[in-house]
A and B are shown apart, each in its own frame.
Chain A
């Protein structure tokens, strides 16, 4: 094992602990948005996708690079949009008059 790998493993382990700590505080009400939010976060693989797509030789760069970045981009933009949509629905008891269209659909 290289020293570099050891450093990375250290970062990984510590991040796992931070993740456990932070996520154990998320209430069950928000578990779906949590899944969706973490779903968006693993879209960070987009960074890897851009790096690799930029470094591939022809003919891989065009096809593989495109698919690669497309998938990751789908993950990122879809993930954040869905999470935002879900979260804007969560509201405490509101006293304001509700819109008349609510009951339909």
Chain B
């Protein structure tokens, strides 16, 4: 739109502008739990405006589009309503993958249309359509692998093989070469486009395979960012501003979260993505047998400890999600509060499998969000705390991260659980944590362990507290 451009604005573009404003306000209102729901609805209104405006332009292929819309909506709504809160990370991954796949296909379709019309695509179009297709396909394939890992259809452990980085580099190179060929518009350049698309799909699979479950918060955020960027790039292909704005917003959000998650693990994002856990795994070896001095106690012992405390801090981890123990924990907190015990929750940024995972689960169990504390806010509190109750968390409480320079997680910010007067650790067994690292916390004389399924253990403690 240069100064000389005096053509009247298309009303559809005006609608798109309104949509962009709705999205920005929608995200703005997410800054407080009080207004967040309103925000989501404003954002949804924006989406409706954009879709209705697009449909109202008059579309040809309406029966295909209409039926796909309805079927997609039905599947989306039903699965979103049925999914358990503990399965939320994989659901988010799946929807993210759907968006990425759609972005890749949109770019492919548009390029195909241009070629079929016998027109040579401009550099702008060919460059951005390969970009959309590649990022979208990586996001699609990566999200599916992330889904399969989180759903435990395949192992959550890192899958590594020799020459992994080399293979990935070769595929990346193939993509770059094809990209160049498409932009240069060599003969049969459409074929190179398909090669790039398939190669990106394979790369998406290969790049998530070696990433372990504990690193999922980083990957999920990154894939979210990818789909956003793919959508933005699709906006460049179609010359559609609302796609550009919305995609940029999502890309920014995903990138910010990815960086945040990396910081919470004291690892750079590249370190997470490119197989640092291969190195970490080598320390697993015989070291695990060292931990012998653990004290195992019964649920009633724990109940007594908790009931006579002034302040208890609950530290939830992925184990809480696996055991679905959040409702039992809320019940325990209710019982303790009846006895005048103050109960707080300490949330590590990377606890669980996606950013904010623990917060959602505790919210599901009706724990007020005002009782949940971030790491920086709660850490000074541990010194004044009688009992820290660690439920299925391990690495995020490991004091070795603070003290042991040789520990693979040295430097990772942790919850200072060991500073509490007493520590109770709920764990399924003495297996080391996900990262395969010993946790000196378990050897600490003030630590006691309650072994078993977290939900059953907590239910036992609740019964104990009630009996007191």
Question: Which of B36, B103, B228 has its CB near the most chain A CB atoms (within 10 A)?
Answer: B36
**A18-54 CB contacts (< 8 Å) to partner B:** 18-20, 22-54
Q: Taking the nearest CB of chain B, how far is it from the CB of A40, in angstroms? A: 7
* Contact indicator per residue, chain B 9-45, by CB within 8 Å of chain A (1) or not (0): 0000000100110011011101111101101110110
Q: Is B71 an interface residue (CB 8 A)?
A: yes
Q: Is the CB of B81 within 8 A of A70?
A: no
Cα distance, A74 to B96, chains bound together (Å): 10
Cα distance, A2 to B20, chains bound together (Å): 24
Q: Is the CB of B238 within 8 A of A51?
A: yes
Q: Is the CB of B60 within 8 A of A7?
A: no
Question: Which of A23, A32, A64, A69 has its CB near the most chain B CB atoms (within 10 A)?
Answer: A32
Q: Is B357 an interface residue (CB 8 A)?
A: yes
Cα distance, A71 to B112, chains bound together (Å): 19
Cα distance, A7 to B248, chains bound together (Å): 14
Q: Is the CB of B95 within 8 A of A74?
A: yes
B residues at A contact (CB < 8 Å): 1-2, 16, 19-20, 23-24, 26-28, 30-34, 36-37, 39-41, 43-44, 47, 50-51, 54-55, 59-62, 64-65, 67-73, 75-77, 79-81, 83, 85, 88, 91-92, 94-96, 98-99, 101-103, 105-106, 108-110, 112-113, 116, 122, 124, 220-221, 224, 227-228, 230-232, 234-254, 256-257, 324, 327-328, 330-331, 347, 349, 354-357, 359-360, 363-366, 368-372, 374
Q: Is the CB of A16 within 8 A of B65?
A: no
Q: Is the CB of B69 within 8 A of A52?
A: no
Cα distance, A60 to B105, chains bound together (Å): 11
Q: Is the CB of B256 within 8 A of A32?
A: no
Give the residue of B41, B95, B101, B327 whose beta carbon is less than 8 angstroms from that of A39.
Answer: B95
Give the residue of A20, A32, A47 whose beta carbon is less than 8 angstroms from that of B354.
Answer: A32
10 smallest CB-CB distances across A and B, nearest first, come from A73-B72, A19-B252, A31-B356, A78-B76, A15-B248, A77-B76, A69-B68, A81-B80, A32-B356, A31-B355
Give the residue of B30, B60, B241, B242 whose beta carbon is less than 8 angstroms from that of A37.
Answer: B30
At the interface, is chain A mostly helix, strand, loop or mixed?
Answer: helix
A residues at B contact (CB < 8 Å): 1-5, 7-8, 11-13, 15-20, 22-57, 60-62, 64-94, 98, 102-105
Q: Is the CB of A15 within 8 A of B245?
A: yes
Q: Is the CB of B95 within 8 A of A75?
A: yes
Q: Is the CB of B347 within 8 A of A26?
A: no
Give the residue of A12, A48, A69, A78 whose beta carbon is less than 8 angstroms from that of B103.
Answer: A48
Known contacts A48-B243, A77-B80, A94-B368; A42 and B99 CB within 8 A of each other: yes
Known contacts A35-B354, A105-B327; A47 and B369 CB within 8 A of each other: no
Cα distance, A42 to B253, chains bound together (Å): 11
What chain B residues lie within 8 Å of A75 (beta carbons)? 72, 76, 95-96, 98-99, 102
Q: Is the CB of B64 within 8 A of A73?
A: no
Q: Is the CB of B103 within 8 A of A29?
A: no
Question: Which of A37, A74, A75, A84 has its CB near the most chain B CB atoms (within 10 A)?
Answer: A74
What chain B residues lie within 8 Å of A69 (beta carbons)? 64-65, 68-69, 72, 102
When C-beta atoms are compared, the residue in chain A nearest to B89 turns out to be A32
Q: Is the CB of A50 within 8 A of B59?
A: yes
Q: Is the CB of A23 within 8 A of B253?
A: yes
When C-beta atoms are compared, the residue in chain A nearest to B103 turns out to be A45
What chain A residues lie within 8 Å of B65 (beta carbons)? 50, 53-54, 65, 69
Known contacts A53-B61, A56-B61; A35 and B221 CB within 8 A of each other: yes
Cα distance, A50 to B94, chains bound together (Å): 21
